Chain A
């Protein structure tokens, strides 16, 4: 994604919007087992608190919804959860419970950890635009 470019996907839940740093996961994320909600970190140590979490999609246990809710409970929720492909019911119910902005079907996103993006809602879609200004 070039500077100034924007990409929109399906808007599922809009809560917070604004500017955040990207944390990118290659492949699908399982919230149960791969996310520590108490620390707000992925199991590889990267923090997701206040970040724009981007992954291909989701996998794993139905308890995942409670893990997403737990992120919010401990104040460690990401700004938004963005999936390149289609989401799943577990993540949707978790994001509704936690009030976390969530969109899917963005297509392949050429973004890296540390990129700064704006997240906003437009015409019923959820949009991402790369920003040069730090969050």
Chain B
């Protein structure tokens, strides 16, 4: 791999030990993936921020880096944590977990990361087409590549941290235009509700694995796109989907495509009423539109536990517009900076869950919970 003189010096430790460690990670991973060089990035987004996921060793590693003087060189953000950002009692995770989680956040803060605690960093700062990123949250990666036309691989937690510190990533995979070539053509019935799109994404992920699918008739609203892409990134490893007339031209190529058909029956199977103890919305995190819409759909007090997850930024916007108060008056819990995937939800005793997100469906199923999808337009019926 070709390294510039400055990059060589970074690797030799001339910019300090933290930079050397970070550079070594980026270079080694790049070598394995056959990168010819490194490229500069404009935004790093780290996953593996929940104490529940990375544990004591992960916390230790972040602290070590931070104590060695690691500082983010580019705009850097972090994924959700395992509890509500402000109120440790909203999701009762226990004192020990709370304490440790705050230590993880402190380590990121010390390294100059913005404590965004969201899986939707594109609502904080929207990257442009062709902009290079190093993002470590699969749903955000899929949104950046597919909707915004930015270039990012699906990075592991530590690599995104290393990219933040070096300001660089390796030039391989989806950083290279030739690799952004479609492999499958998706044919599906007419869909309407955002959650139907989410179900479609889930099925496409299962069938296409880690290919690059093309949707000739993609959803038209951003919320449906977000749900669909998150689901196919979870059930498959899909980091780029081509959405006709949405994905910016020139950021992809059409390749030899295999036709994949999804029928109505397959989609319908994911929707089944299961007498839920908990209903969950906000995976990926809700934007302001979604909060407003749910606030309109649900007119009365809810009679089941209903959680909506969002980022601190959107939470504050909704607070200013009085939406949070209105939702909470109806008994809806709006949680900030966390989600059902990284919360130790199975330890809270819930067994049957309904959700608007097929990504949540995928992960909670794997934790052994009974999960079903519910359409946004049917939410009121389920919660009241």
Which of B47, B57, B155, B159 sits near A74, CB closer than 8 Å?
Answer: B57
Question: Is B87 positioned at the interface, with any CB of A under 8 Å from its CB?
Answer: no
Which of B56, B58, B154, B156 sits near A93, CB closer than 8 Å?
Answer: B156
Alpha-carbon separation in the docked complex, A96 to B33 (Å): 15
Question: Is B157 positioned at the interface, with any CB of A under 8 Å from its CB?
Answer: yes
Question: Is A13 positioned at the interface, with any CB of B under 8 Å from its CB?
Answer: yes
B128-154 interface (Cβ within 8 A of A): 136, 154
A: number of interface residues (CB 8 Å): 23
**How close is B368's CB to chain A, nearest CB, in angstroms?**
13
Contact B28 A96 (CB under 8 A): yes
Question: Is B25 positioned at the interface, with any CB of A under 8 Å from its CB?
Answer: yes
Contact A70 B156 (CB under 8 A): no
Alpha-carbon separation in the docked complex, A92 to B255 (Å): 30
Residue interface mask B150-184, A partner, CB < 8 A = 1: 00001111110010000000000000000000000
B-side contacts of A64, CB under 8 Å:
156
Question: Is A69 positioned at the interface, with any CB of B under 8 Å from its CB?
Answer: yes
Chain B interface size, under 10 / 10 to 19 / 20 to 34 / 35 or more: 20 to 34
A-side contacts of B57, CB under 8 Å:
37, 66, 69-70, 72-74
Question: Is A134 positioned at the interface, with any CB of B under 8 Å from its CB?
Answer: no
Alpha-carbon separation in the docked complex, A86 to B34 (Å): 12
Contact B136 A66 (CB under 8 A): no
Alpha-carbon separation in the docked complex, A65 to B156 (Å): 7
**How close is B169's CB to chain A, nearest CB, in angstroms?**
11
**How close is B138's CB to chain A, nearest CB, in angstroms?**
8
Complex: chain B residue closest to A37, CB-CB: B57
Question: Is A87 positioned at the interface, with any CB of B under 8 Å from its CB?
Answer: yes
Contact A70 B55 (CB under 8 A): yes
Which of A13, A69, A88, A92 sits near B61, CB closer than 8 Å?
Answer: A69
A-side contacts of B159, CB under 8 Å:
65, 89, 93
Contact A89 B156 (CB under 8 A): yes
Taking each of A37, A70, A74, which has the highest tally of chain B beta carbons within 10 Å of its own beta carbon?
A: A70
Alpha-carbon separation in the docked complex, A86 to B21 (Å): 23
Taking each of B33, B56, B57, B58, which has the highest tally of chain A beta carbons within 10 Å of its own beta carbon?
A: B57
Residue interface mask B18-37, A partner, CB < 8 A = 1: 00010011001101110000
B-side contacts of A93, CB under 8 Å:
25, 28-29, 156, 158-159, 162
26 residue pairs bridging A and B, Cβ less than 8 Å apart: A12-B31, A62-B47, A62-B48, A62-B154, A62-B156, A63-B48, A63-B54, A63-B156, A66-B48, A66-B54, A66-B57, A66-B58, A66-B61, A69-B58, A70-B55, A70-B57, A74-B57, A89-B32, A89-B156, A92-B29, A93-B25, A93-B29, A93-B159, A94-B158, A96-B21, A96-B29
The 7 closest A-B pairs by CB, nearest first: A70-B57, A73-B57, A62-B156, A89-B29, A66-B58, A96-B25, A92-B32
